[in-house]
């Protein structure tokens, strides 16, 4: 089975979900969960140190501080010089953290009420055990000063469960935030590690499940995206097939001055194996051929919408917001074909309740691909509000419009009309450039034309789109300067590697 080749899609829990898992796992846990977490983090710390050295562990007033005391005890037992700074009062610690604090003292440890100066040669590792996943307010005063000092240390910086100052549910920096080079997450992934500011603050992410089967204890509302979710579609083509076996993908857009967007989408659809790719343009003056991709067939946009038998339409790349564009979006929503709405198609829907109602009552769900500003228009909100809770925004759009939605950005969120969500970890900042979204629309159109359902197509396209960007940047050593037209050939290569893997291919994910 193809799925055996791919890492499973791991569950993701917001804070309330993790608390429910912990409540079911804690009674009778031997050893206790805090002991397991601290031991796992200490093992990672020893790998990061790779030899003797001096370690600073900054412990806070709650259970995250308790994890830090356990880490400190294990590292001291391993022969390291360990200094613990404790920003709390022993009498006010929760029960488990109090026991960890007492065990640290019993094993010869001590605590300092302030961060000590670095030893000669500096710290070899600093550990952030100040505040865990429950933090919901900005760090101020003493704690903010500690974060600034820890961030200034030129050594590996390890966060326990989540960097202090990061919202575990949304990925927002609440204020001063620990800048980890490594983060070890316990039990399961949390959304804030994977989206918005989270990836910048977490560094390399390590998951330690500490012998807790989270999904056996409480259902997960979200999962990471891996090819395992759509592996059933990744079979080689039958020898007895022809272009008609893989559907017609139609791209609608290309108003005057924006024809390139439609062509980028068309080229991506061709690279992802649609049987035929047709591009319907609003610009009547455009030469109806793409010299670099002569396989593309061109029509006027109204002619293409009237053409029978087309399996999938992607409407929006370079569409504009004219009256003619509104007419095209209205007509596309009414068609029984698979449908992707992007860019100005979304802006037209956002300002027209009639289009929104028509979209919500389609016989099959459409696929919507907004960036945060487009999402804000669809929700009658602001970009800041959308970014403050990206998962909630994506789920709200999906529910209201009865559509599959990807809210694009760092850690793109995919949501379905039933309220389940996924987070994608492929992709990189070099993809923040014009035309990248048009390529995603083309990939989607091709997969839908090939007969994939909306959910599988969106999950695959989002992950593949980011993976292609990662491949191009790795091959060329890019931090910026990625061109949208470079993505489609890379996406083709990645997709075909899924279908016909090389022996060297192996699943890649945050290490455990």
Does the annotation list 197 as a binding residue? no
* pLDDT above 80 (res 420): yes
* pLDDT above 80 (res 331): yes
Does the annotation list 53 as a binding residue? no
Does the annotation list 65 as a binding residue? yes
Find where tokens 């099959």 sit: 364
- For residues 404 and 356, membership in a common domain is answered with yes
Domain final residue pick, 161, 194, 224: 224
- For residues 142 and 211, membership in a common domain is answered with yes
* pLDDT above 50 (res 25): yes
With residue 338 as reference, give the H or E element that holds it: strand 338-341
- For residues 143 and 185, membership in a common domain is answered with yes
Residue 22's CATH number: 3.40.50.10260
Provide the number of structural domains found in the chain.
2
**Please, are residues 188 and 208 in contact by the beta-carbon 8 Å criterion?**
no
Return the pLDDT at 47: 96
* pLDDT above 60 (res 508): no
- For residues 184 and 331, membership in a common domain is answered with no
Mean pLDDT (the chain) is 95
Which 3 state secondary structure label does DSSP give 95? helix
Backbone angles phi, psi at 204, to 5 degrees: -75, 130
- For residues 468 and 391, membership in a common domain is answered with yes
Does the annotation list 13 as a binding residue? no
- Helix residue ranges, H only, 298-404: 301-306, 323-334, 344-350, 353-360, 372-379, 383-388, 390-401
Distance in angstroms (rounded) separating the CA atoms of residues 410 and 164: 20
DSSP state of 5: G
- For residues 156 and 276, membership in a common domain is answered with no
Residue 468 belongs to a domain: yes
Query: Parallel, antiparallel, or unpaired: how do β-strands 54-59 and 421-423 relate?
Result: unpaired
Residue 279 belongs to a domain: yes
Does the annotation list 261 as a binding residue? yes
- For residues 177 and 319, membership in a common domain is answered with no
Under the banding of pLDDT at 50, 70 and 90, the label for residue 501 is confident
Tens of pLDDT, residues 108-120: 999 999 999 999 9
Share of the chain above pLDDT 70, in %: 97
Residue 452 belongs to a domain: yes
- For residues 123 and 248, membership in a common domain is answered with no
Does the annotation list 308 as a binding residue? no
Which 3 state secondary structure label does DSSP give 125? strand
**Please, are residues 17 and 218 in contact by the beta-carbon 8 Å criterion?**
yes
Under the banding of pLDDT at 50, 70 and 90, the label for residue 355 is very high
Tens of pLDDT, residues 45-66: 999 998 889 999 999 999 999 9
Does the annotation list 67 as a binding residue? yes
* pLDDT above 90 (res 486): yes
Does the annotation list 208 as a binding residue? no
Return the pLDDT at 209: 97
Does the annotation list 161 as a binding residue? yes
Global pTM reads 0.94
Does the annotation list 411 as a binding residue? yes
* pLDDT above 90 (res 322): yes
Does the annotation list 283 as a binding residue? no
Residue 311 belongs to a domain: yes
**Please, are residues 44 and 182 in contact by the beta-carbon 8 Å criterion?**
yes
- For residues 471 and 372, membership in a common domain is answered with yes
User: How many residues does this entry show for the chain?
Assistant: 512
Distance in angstroms (rounded) separating the CA atoms of residues 254 and 453: 26
Q: For residues 119-127, give the mean pLDDT.
A: 96
Report the range of poorest mean pLDDT among 122-131, 441-450, 501-510. 501-510
Please, what sign has the CA dihedral across residues 1, 191, 378, 428?
negative
Does the annotation list 344 as a binding residue? no
Does the annotation list 167 as a binding residue? no
Tens of pLDDT, residues 376-391: 999 999 999 999 999 9
Residue 340 tokens read as 């992707």
Residue 510 belongs to a domain: no
**DSSP line for 263-284:** HHHHHHHHHTT-SEEEEEES-T
For the chain, the distance separating the N- and C-terminal CA atoms, rounded to the nearest angstrom, is 25
Distance in angstroms (rounded) separating the CA atoms of residues 371 and 389: 14
Does the annotation list 66 as a binding residue? yes
Classify the phi-psi angles of 257: left when phi > 0, otherwise alpha if psi is within -120 to 50, otherwise beta: left
Does the annotation list 171 as a binding residue? no
**Strands of 110-230, DSSP E:** 111-112, 125-129, 157-160, 182-186, 204-208, 222-224
Spatial neighbors of 343 by CB under 8 A, at least 6 apart, are 253, 261, 316, 317, 318, 319, 374, 437, 438, 441
Distance in angstroms (rounded) separating the CA atoms of residues 218 and 215: 5
Distance in angstroms (rounded) separating the CA atoms of residues 44 and 158: 9
Return the pLDDT at 229: 97
Distance in angstroms (rounded) separating the CA atoms of residues 16 and 19: 5
Tens of pLDDT, residues 174-205: 999 999 999 999 999 999 999 999 999 999 99
* pLDDT above 90 (res 509): no
Return the pLDDT at 2: 43
Share of the chain above pLDDT 90, in %: 92
Q: For residues 89-106, give the mean pLDDT.
A: 96
Domain final residue pick, 167, 193, 224: 224
Return the pLDDT at 500: 84
Report the range of poorest mean pLDDT among 178-192, 369-383, 403-417, 494-508. 494-508
Residue 276 belongs to a domain: yes
Q: How far is CA 324 from the centre of its chain?
A: 35
Return the pLDDT at 1: 39
Does the annotation list 202 as a binding residue? no
Distance in angstroms (rounded) separating the CA atoms of residues 389 and 304: 38
- For residues 148 and 200, membership in a common domain is answered with yes
Please, what sign has the CA dihedral across residues 181, 10, 222, 450?
positive
Under the banding of pLDDT at 50, 70 and 90, the label for residue 505 is low
Domain final residue pick, 158, 193, 224: 224
**DSSP line for 178-214:** ---SEEEEESSB-GGGTSTTHHHHH-EEEEE-TT--H
Distance in angstroms (rounded) separating the CA atoms of residues 501 and 494: 9
Does the annotation list 128 as a binding residue? yes
Residue 504 belongs to a domain: no
In terms of residue numbers, what domain contains 433?
Answer: 244-497
**Please, are residues 150 and 119 in contact by the beta-carbon 8 Å criterion?**
no
Under the banding of pLDDT at 50, 70 and 90, the label for residue 503 is low
Residue 201 tokens read as 């603050």
Residue 301's CATH number: 3.40.1190.20
Three-state DSSP string of 306-333? HCCCCCEEEECCCCCCCHHHHHHHHHHH
- For residues 71 and 143, membership in a common domain is answered with yes
Does the annotation list 371 as a binding residue? yes
Residue 236 belongs to a domain: no
Spatial neighbors of 195 by CB under 8 A, at least 6 apart, are 170, 171, 390, 391, 409, 410, 411, 412, 413, 423
Does the annotation list 409 as a binding residue? yes
**Please, are residues 325 and 302 in contact by the beta-carbon 8 Å criterion?**
no
Residue 453 tokens read as 């359902």
- For residues 197 and 307, membership in a common domain is answered with no
């Amino acid at each position: 089975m193809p799925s055996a080749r791919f890492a499973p899609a791991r569950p993701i829990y917001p804070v309330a979900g993790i608390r429910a898992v912990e409540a079911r796992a804690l009674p009778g846990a031997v050893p206790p969960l805090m002991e397991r977490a601290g031991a796992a983090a200490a093992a990672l710390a020893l790998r990061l140190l790779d030899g003797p050295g001096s370690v600073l562990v900054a412990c806070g007033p709650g259970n995250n501080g308790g994890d830090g005391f356990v880490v400190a005890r294990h590292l001291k037992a391993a022969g390291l010089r360990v200094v613990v700074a404790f920003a709390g009062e022993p009498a006010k610690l929760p029960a488990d953290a109090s026991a960890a604090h007492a065990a640290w003292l019993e094993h010869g440890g001590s605590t300092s009420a302030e961060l000590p100066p670095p030893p000669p040669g500096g710290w070899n590792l600093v550990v952030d055990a100040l505040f865990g996943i429950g933090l919901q307010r900005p760090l101020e005063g003493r704690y903010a000063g500690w974060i600034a000092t820890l961030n200034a240390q030129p050594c590996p910086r390890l966060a326990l469960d989540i960097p202090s100052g990061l919202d575990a549910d949304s990925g927002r920096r609440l204020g001063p935030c620990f800048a980890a080079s490594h983060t070890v997450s316990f039990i399961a992934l949390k959304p804030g590690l994977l989206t918005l500011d989270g990836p910048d603050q977490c560094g390399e992410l390590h998951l330690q499940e500490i012998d807790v089967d989270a999904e056996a204890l409480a259902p997960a509302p979200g999962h990471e995206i891996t090819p395992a979710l759509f592996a059933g579609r990744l079979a080689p083509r039958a020898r007895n097939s022809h272009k008609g076996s893989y559907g017609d993908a139609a791209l609608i857009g290309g108003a005057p001055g924006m024809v390139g967007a439609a062509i980028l989408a068309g080229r991506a659809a061709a690279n992802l194996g649609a049987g035929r790719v047709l591009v319907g343009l609003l610009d009547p003056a455009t030469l109806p051929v793409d010299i670099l991709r002569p396989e593309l067939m061109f029509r006027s946009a109204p002619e293409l919408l009237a053409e029978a038998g087309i399996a999938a339409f992607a409407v929006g790349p370079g569409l504009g917001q004219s009256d003619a564009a509104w007419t095209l979006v209205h007509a596309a929503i009414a068609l029984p074909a698979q449908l992707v709405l992007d860019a100005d198609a979304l802006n037209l829907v956002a300002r027209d309740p009639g289009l929104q109602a028509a979209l919500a009552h389609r016989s099959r769900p459409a696929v919507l691909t907004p960036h945060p500003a487009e999402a804000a228009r669809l929700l009658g909100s602001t970009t800041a509000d959308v970014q403050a809770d990206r998962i909630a925004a994506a789920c709200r759009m999906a529910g209201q419009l009865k559509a599959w939605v990807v809210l694009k950005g760092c850690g793109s969120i995919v949501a379905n009309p039933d309220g389940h969500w996924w987070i994608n970890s492929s992709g990189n900042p070099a993809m923040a450039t014009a035309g990248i979204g048009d390529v995603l629309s083309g990939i989607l159109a091709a997969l839908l034309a090939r007969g994939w359902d909306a959910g599988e197509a969106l999950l695959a396209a989002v992950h593949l789109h980011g993976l292609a960007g990662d491949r191009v940047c790795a091959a060329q050593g890019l931090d910026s300067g990625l061109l949208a037209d470079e993505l489609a050939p890379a996406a083709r290569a990645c997709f075909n590697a899924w279908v016909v893997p090389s022996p060297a291919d192996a699943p890649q994910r945050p290490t455990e």
